[in-house]
Every structure is written in C-alpha cells, then in structure tokens.
C-alpha cells in the first residue's frame, strides 16, 4: 500500500511538472506570436507611410575614428585552435600584470591599465571577431569555452572577470564552470542565470520587460525589423530616453552611435548578435550553481529591461563575499551613465581582501 501511494505521489508530481512546463512554453511562444503580430503591424504602417524608405539600409564601409583610436589600447587578434574562430580584442597595460578581462569592453575602464593587463574582447558574433552563421554556434557552452580559451591564450590561468548584459551572463557561467579561473567577478546589470530563469517564470512584469527575448526567437524576421528604415529601431533602442542612456551629458555622440551602426550593419552581424537570444532558452547543465569567487554586482536603478529585485536574489548563489550597489539614476547602460562611480566601486572591490599581488601569474 505504501509503495502504491509513493508511486501515485511521484506520478502526480511528475504530471504537475509537465503541465507547468507545457503552460510555461505555451506562454513563451504565445507571447512570441503576439510580439511578431505587433511588429508586422508596425512594418505595414511603415510601408504605408514611407514605402520607398522602409526597406532601405546602408552597410557602413568606413569605420568611425573611435573604433581605431590607438590611445585606448592595442588592437590584437587571436585564433583559437579548438573552435577555429578568430577573436578581436583590445589590450592595454603591461604584460605580466594581473589580467582584467572585459566581456564587451567599455572604454571608460581603461584607467585600470595602471595596475592590470586590461583586455576587452569582441565575443563571437560581434565587432571584428568571427561571425558564425549557425544558431547552434552560439550555445552557452560555446560562449563560456571561448572565454576560457582566450584567457589561456593570453598566458594566464586566472583573471578578474568583468561583464555587462550578455557579457555578464557569460561571466556568471564562467565563474560557475571554471571557478579556479576567476579571481573576482564583477557584473553589471545582469542577474545570475538561475535568478533570471526563476524570476521571469514567476513575474509576468519581467516577462514583459524581456519581450524582445521572445520576438528574437523567430528566424530572419527580427533582423529585417531592426534594419529597415536604415536601422531606425536600433537607433531608437540606443538613444531613446526610455531604453538608452539616461544621464544628461552622457548621451551617445553621433560618432559613437555610428560606431554601433557600423558594427551591426556588416553582413551577418545582426544575425550573430540575435543568435545569443535564440539560445537563451537552451539548457547549460550545472552540476552546481554557486559562485565561489567574490562578487561585485552593480545595478542601474532605472534599468528598462531587468527588474531590480533580481539583484538582491543573486545573493543566494554566492558562497563568498558579495557586494551589491544600486546606482541611483543609472540606466541599463550604467557604465556610460555613471562611469566615475562605477570605476570607483570596482577599484574599491578589487583592492579588498587578499589583494591583487597574490594573483599575479603567467
């Protein structure tokens, strides 16, 4: 009798989980269909208003001067033997100093070159790094392995790892899968992957904020919608007061905006960038989800894409020291909104504890 009850209980739990999963994915794809419908209406409206301009876009052939500014560092390339991909990175600071690796680097951070070998890398699908066309090439395990391979190529076995947005997600996963590689972890506006998954599942408001995740699951159509009217949607994303930089005086200059458009207008570039989102629902097996390295999490108070409650929830997955700083008035792009504050908080964090010199290695 007891065994029968146990089997019945297991069957009930299993059925409940399957129903919950079915409902979840029905919501995901239903919302994706809704987003697609809205996008189609916008496309139709654009064709009615400006039929000649709707399907016009320009591939930028001459890079803006800021992309080749040697004062920011030395432009280098590395080809990883295992993946066969070539990666572009910019490096500053003396060789032999502790490595500080930025996943999608921010020019404001070059001040760290006084005490670190600072490297900002274009991840696969971005900038001057290779742009694989296959969606499968952007699986989370591939992206995490890229970081490990680059660190080893640079001659290091440990680094101070800094990531923002998608770079932050990859940084979290690197710290989980390769804990021995990460001395300290610094993440900007990107929650621990487990926090994001659980929070989005239980909070429809976050699902709405992350609506682009669902729209980007479609093949080809998102690339079209982002590029029509000469990348009007991308320009709006980067410059509008709701989704762009909020701090007056820090708004993108015309040259900086053109740098983004130059990179994303290259053949295959939008496809590579969106393939990150098309793998966001893929499962990266985690034997454990705790982060052993000390963690600094910086969060813009006015993030238009992520809810602030997720930042505090990350504490549950940190085994070591955890610092959380909510930066008042800052947007999702807080390193550009408040660079001085961000830099000061990072300096304070990396000088805490055991210090930098104990991690000096080649």
Per-residue pLDDT tens digits for 107-164: 344 568 889 999 999 999 998 999 999 999 999 999 999 999 999 999 999 999 999 9
Q: What are phi and psi of 267, to 5 degrees?
A: -55, 125
**CA–CA separation, 108 vs 32, rounded Å?**
36
Mean pLDDT for 214-231 is 87
Look-up of token digits 């660079």: 339
**Backbone Cα Rg of the chain:** 22
Write out the two tokens for 184. 């300290």
pLDDT greater at residue 41 or residue 109:
41
And the tokens for 256? 């900086």
Query: Tokens at residue 322, please?
Result: 């955890």
Res 303 pLDDT > 50: yes
Non-local CB neighbours of 144 within 8 Å, separated by 6+ positions: 170, 173, 174, 177, 178, 284
pLDDT band per the 50, 70, 90 thresholds, residue 285: low
Looking at residue 90, its pLDDT comes to: 93
pLDDT at residue 28, as a whole number: 67
Q: What is the chain's mean pLDDT, rounded? A: 85
List the structure tokens of 190. 């990107």
User: What mean pLDDT is predicted for residues 189-218?
Assistant: 86
**DSSP assignments along 153-222, one per residue:** HTT-S-EEEEEETHHHHHHHHHHHH-GGGEEEEEEES---HHHHHHHHHH-HHHHHHTHHHHHTTSSSHH
The arithmetic mean of pLDDT across residues 10-16, rounded, is 71
For the segment 236-250, what is each residue's pLDDT rounded down to a tens digit? 888 888 888 888 888
Residues 166-188: what's their mean pLDDT? 96
Average pLDDT of 318-343?
93
* pLDDT band with cut points at 50, 70 and 90 for residue 5: low
Between these two residues, 358 and 135, which has the higher pLDDT value? 135
6-23 mean pLDDT? 71
Could you report the per-residue pLDDT of 54-113, keeping only the tens digit for each? 666 777 878 888 787 777 789 999 999 889 999 999 999 999 999 999 998 433 445 688
Output the pLDDT for position 361.
38
All domains of the chain, ordered by start, with CATH? Answer: 28-362 (3.40.50.1820)
pLDDT of 106: 39
**What band does 355 get if pLDDT is binned at 50, 70 and 90?**
very low
User: Can you read off the two tokens belonging to residue 359?
Assistant: 């991690």
In the chain, % of residues over pLDDT 90 = 49
Residue 52 is predicted with a pLDDT of 65
pLDDT of residue 360 exceeding 60, the answer is no
Residue 192 burial by CB count (10 A; 0-12/13-18/19+): exposed, middle or buried? buried
Q: Report pLDDT for 22.
A: 76
> Which pLDDT score, from 0 to 100, does residue 358 have?
41
The pTM assigned to this predicted structure is 0.86
158's tokens: 């440990």
């Amino acid at each position: 009798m007891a065994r029968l009850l146990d089997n019945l209980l297991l069957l009930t739990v299993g059925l409940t989980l399957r129903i919950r999963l079915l409902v979840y994915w029905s919501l995901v794809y239903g919302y994706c269909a809704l987003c697609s419908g809205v996008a189609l209406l916008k496309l139709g409206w654009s064709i009615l208003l400006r039929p000649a301009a709707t399907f016009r876009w320009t591939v930028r052939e001459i890079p803006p001067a800021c992309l080749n500014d040697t004062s920011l560092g030395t432009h280098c390339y590395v080809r990883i033997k295992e993946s066969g991909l070539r990666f572009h990175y910019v490096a500053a600071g003396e060789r032999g100093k502790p490595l500080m690796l930025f996943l999608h680097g921010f020019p404001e951070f070059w001040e760290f070159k006084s005490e670190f070998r600072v490297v900002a890398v274009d991840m696969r699908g971005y900038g001057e790094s290779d742009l694989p066309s296959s969606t499968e090439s952007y699986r989370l395990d591939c992206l995490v392995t890229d970081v490990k391979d680059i660190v080893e190529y640079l001659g290091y076995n440990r680094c101070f790892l800094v990531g923002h947005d998608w770079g932050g997600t990859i940084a979290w996963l690197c710290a989980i899968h390769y804990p021995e590689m990460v001395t300290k972890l610094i993440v900007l506006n990107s929650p621990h992957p487990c926090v994001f998954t659980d929070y989005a599942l239980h909070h429809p408001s976050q699902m709405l904020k992350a609506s682009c995740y669902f729209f980007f699951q479609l093949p080809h159509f998102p690339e079209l919608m982002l590029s029509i009217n000469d990348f009007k949607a991308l320009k709006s994303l980067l410059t509008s007061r709701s989704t762009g930089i909020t701090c007056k005086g820090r708004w993108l200059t015309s040259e900086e905006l053109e740098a983004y458009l130059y990179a994303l207008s290259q053949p295959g570039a939008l496809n590579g960038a969106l393939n990150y989102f098309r793998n966001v629902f893929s499962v990266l097996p985690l034997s454990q989800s705790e982060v052993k390295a000390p963690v600094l999490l910086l969060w813009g108070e006015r993030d238009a894409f992520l809810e602030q409650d997720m930042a505090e929830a990350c504490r549950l997955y940190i085994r070591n020291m955890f610092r959380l700083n909510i930066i008042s008035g800052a947007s999702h792009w807080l390193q550009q909104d408040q660079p001085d504050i961000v830099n000061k908080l990072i300096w304070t964090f990396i000088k805490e504890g055991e210090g930098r010199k104990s991690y000096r290695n080649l």
